[in-house]
Amino acid sequence: MKKEISGIISNLLNINQEEIDKINDDTNLIDYGLTSILFIKLIVSLENAFKIEFNDSDLVMSKFETVNNILDIVERYCNNSSNKKAIICDCDGVLWQGESGEGTIYVGESQNKFQETIKKLYNKGVLICLCSKNQETNVISGLNNPNVILDESIFLTIKTNCNNKAASVLEIANEFGLQTESIVFLDDSDYELELIKLLLPEVMTIKIDYEDQNIFEKIEHCFSSVSVLGSQRTEQYKQQKNREKERLNFFSIDEYNEYLHTIVNIYESKQEEIERISELSFRTNQFNLSCRKYKVSEINSFIHSKKYDVISLSVSDEFGDMGLVGCAIINKSNENIIIENIFISCRILNRNIENRFVEAIKTRYGNNKIYGIYKASQQNKKYNSFYETNGVLKYEQV
């Protein structure tokens, strides 16, 4: 990473690579010609090189004035990513001191602050799961302790068994359709943390060490890009689990959708949906066909441009209203129609709804030749033939 950053700085400041390598990592790059104009070019180069997008709050020149500054902030974005959705944490030694079912548990100041952090993230839309080798009755008893501020309702699932923690994490991921790289695992046990690192290296792990003064900030920072959705997100995933249970009774997806009285709405995006569309683009990885993430300002400009159409997809069924779950960004400025991106929440994938979405787009533009931009990633490779399968000409972007 440092070598790539040095190369970017070398090209930007027009300084020989060898000379750049001799510069002290804490030397202010302004002394070597970094200006406000070059700073913008530096941001663009870093975002393109590392496939990240800096938050507006971080676009301050002072945060990029030295090699070490740049290295720190890029590592933070690369390690954090914007795809973290869920916390899976232990109970004993984490939510409280002591072992539930084996005497009185104790909630000290640190445990109380940890629980407040978890509740804050839950209200922000982060999925919260418990994973313990203790008995379920003991865990529930612990949650009913008057000093514990978290109640059972905030947890997407409480997984209690004697399996190793890696197996339990995988079970939770499969049960709720979560990608393992979207999970942050919290535990106080070095043994469990190392097991996750070994067997599930894509899962971010954080040791709950209350001697670490920055522990709460570290946890919150993992979800710094999550928009406020509140408790409805947990409820949506619980509804999804019920849908999957019901699906086992049917021979075809279409029969299942009909049974659930599934209603699919496809329409021009509304002004009040802009923030949700932007948030969805940042959270969606499995079905994000061009891998693009869009700021609110970008979606707003598309909606008000005559050259673009922004098409929303919303779905509801007897289990509940899933709201806006997909969007298409369509460039109609040329003779041909170009689908610059389609991104759809993983909660509704494989229900033929994504196919209905693209069919509606094709119908909308009649006899026009339609191209779809696809950029391969590790997450979306399952859908690399989606456009061809649905009669859209694929333009593969490198």
Burial 64-84 (b: 16+ CB within 10 A, else e): bbbbebbeebbeebeebbbbb
pTM of model > 0.85: no
pLDDT band at 360 (very low <50, low <70, confident <90, very high): very high
What's the rounded Cα separation, in Å, for the pair 109 and 311? Answer: 49
pLDDT band (50, 70, 90) for residue 161: confident
Phi, psi of 17, rounded to the nearest 5 degrees? -55, -40
For 145-169, the three-class secondary structure string (H helix, E strand, C coil) is CCCCCCCHHHEEEEEECCCCHHHHH
Ranges 3-7, 49-53, 64-68, 305-309: which has the least confidence = 49-53
Please give the residue that has the higher pLDDT: either 346 or 66.
66
The answer to which of 145-159, 242-256, 282-296, 316-330 has the lowest mean pLDDT is 242-256
Q: If you average pLDDT over each of 39-43, 56-60, 300-304, which comes out highest? A: 300-304
Averaged confidence pLDDT in the chain: 86
Question: pLDDT tens digit string along 171-215?
Answer: 999 888 888 888 999 999 887 888 888 888 888 888 998 888 788
Burial class (CB in 10 A: 0-12, 13-18, 19+), 266: buried
Q: Average pLDDT of 63-84?
A: 77
Categorize the per-residue pLDDT at 115 as very low, low, confident or very high, splitting at 50, 70 and 90.
very high
What is the pLDDT averaged over residues 291-309?
94
State the pLDDT at residue 375.
Answer: 93
pLDDT beyond 90 at 392 = yes
Structural domains of the chain sorted by starting position, each given as residue range(s) with its CATH number in brackets: 2-80 (1.10.1200.10), 86-221 (3.40.50.1000), 261-397 (3.40.630.30)
pLDDT at 288: 94
| Residue in the block written with tokens 């941001």 | 43
Q: Tell me, what's the pLDDT at 266? A: 96
DSSP per residue, 77-137: HHHH-S---EEEE-SBTTTBBS-TTSS--B--HHHHHHHHHHHHHHHHT-EEEEEESS-HH
**Looking at 20-24, 287-291, 336-340, 372-376, which range is the least confident one?**
20-24
135-144, 231-240, 311-320, 351-360 — which is least confidently predicted? Answer: 231-240
Q: 103-107, 256-260, 298-302, 383-387: which has the minimum mean pLDDT? A: 256-260
Quote the pLDDT of residue 170: 92
